């Protein structure tokens, strides 16, 4: 499908940079450019773009003001583009798809655009906004009925990006940080194991040790070990330890004895 994109930034060079990057994307059509927030609100209502590249700091009406003026029903998919990382958490809270921190390279831009394509495709295949909303609520709520965390804000190498929780293989404590293992990559997150455990989906992530949590979809097998412990072997061969004190959680989840 063709993705219709609107560029909003008060800096002409920044708008030109985005337009140049999008020229190489055959399935993306730039339907307009705006230099301030008020223009953006009017353009979204008139042009109905699928994707909005939105600057944060703009005179009179900033990027968040644009979102507030439009409301959820009129809002397309949003990728924030800014030189400031301090707005990343707020962008996450308003469900932005990504947060491009200037200056960014072509590879980083394409990753953000790929996420946008996935989201737009999902929405276009939904038969109605109500069905999509119901599905989103179901995904974001565990069996306990509490909201669960689907994305995390990661700061790494001078950039800020969103990491989907289901991309994580396993998590380990490291002082005041957590190490998030994602394939061959590792990201640091300043948080505690207890806090993150409480926010992740209880059917997807399991605490297996006081300093270790694992994505259950990455588990290949369990092997008995010493003193009631088990080896947890992941699909990529990583070996972790299921401590005896955490066995009841796995037993309850699997509905069987181990």
CATH no. for residue 222? 2.40.50.1020
β partners of residue 81: 55, 100
Q: Domain ends where: 76, 94, 125?
A: 125
* 100 and 183 both lie in a single domain: no
* 117 and 190 both lie in a single domain: no
Q: Does 97 fall in a domain?
A: yes
* 59 and 115 both lie in a single domain: yes
* 170 and 121 both lie in a single domain: no
What is the DSSP code string of 80-111?
EEES-GGGHHHHHHTT-SEEEESS--HHHHHH
* 178 and 244 both lie in a single domain: yes
Chain segment 27-84, per-residue pLDDT in tens: 999 999 999 999 999 999 999 999 999 999 998 899 999 998 988 778 899 999 988 8
Q: Does 146 fall in a domain?
A: no
Long-range contacts of 151-158 (CB under 8 A, 24+ apart): 151/92, 152/180, 152/189, 153/88, 153/89, 153/92, 153/99, 154/180, 154/187, 154/189, 155/85, 155/88, 156/187, 156/188, 158/101
State which residues form the domain around 10. 3-125
Q: Does 75 fall in a domain?
A: yes
Judge whether 79 and 56 are in contact, CB under 8 Å: no
**Which of the 8 DSSP states describes residue 2?**
P
CATH no. for residue 25? 3.40.50.2300
pLDDT of res. 137: 43
Q: Does 225 fall in a domain?
A: yes
Q: Does 158 fall in a domain?
A: no
Chain segment 77-128, per-residue pLDDT in tens: 999 998 887 788 778 777 788 888 888 889 999 989 998 888 888 765 543 3
pTM of the complete model beyond 0.75: no
Local confidence band at 8 (pLDDT 50, 70, 90 cut-offs):
very high
Q: Domain ends where: 125, 155, 187?
A: 125
Q: How many domains does the chain have?
A: 2
């Amino acid at each position: 499908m063709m993705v219709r994109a609107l560029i909003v930034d008060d800096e002409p060079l920044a708008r030109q940079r985005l337009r140049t990057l999008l020229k190489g994307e055959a399935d993306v059509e730039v339907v307009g450019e705006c230099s301030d927030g008020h223009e953006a609100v009017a353009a979204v209502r008139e042009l109905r773009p699928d994707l909005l590249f939105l600057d944060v700091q703009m005179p009179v009406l900033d990027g968040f003001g644009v979102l507030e003026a439009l409301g959820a029903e009129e809002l397309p998919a949003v990728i924030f583009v800014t030189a400031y990382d301090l707005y990343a958490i707020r962008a996450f809270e308003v469900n932005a798809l990504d947060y491009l921190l200037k200056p960014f390279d072509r590879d980083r831009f394409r990753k953000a655009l790929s996420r946008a394509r996935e989201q737009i495709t999902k929405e276009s295949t939904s038969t109605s906004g109500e069905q999509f909303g119901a599905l989103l609520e179901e995904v974001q709520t565990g069996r306990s009925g509490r909201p669960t965390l689907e994305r995390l804000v990661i700061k790494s190498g001078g950039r800020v990006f969103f990491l989907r929780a289901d991309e994580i293989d396993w998590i380990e404590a490291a002082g005041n940080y957590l190490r998030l293992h994602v394939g061959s990559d590792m990201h640091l997150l300043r948080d505690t194991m207890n806090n993150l455990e409480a926010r992740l989906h209880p059917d997807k992530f399991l605490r297996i040790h006081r300093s270790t949590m694992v994505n259950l979809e990455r588990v290949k097998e369990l092997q008995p070990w010493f003193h009631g412990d088990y080896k947890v072997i992941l699909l990529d061969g990583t070996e972790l330890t299921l401590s005896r004190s955490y066995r009841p959680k796995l037993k309850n989840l699997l509905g069987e004895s181990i």
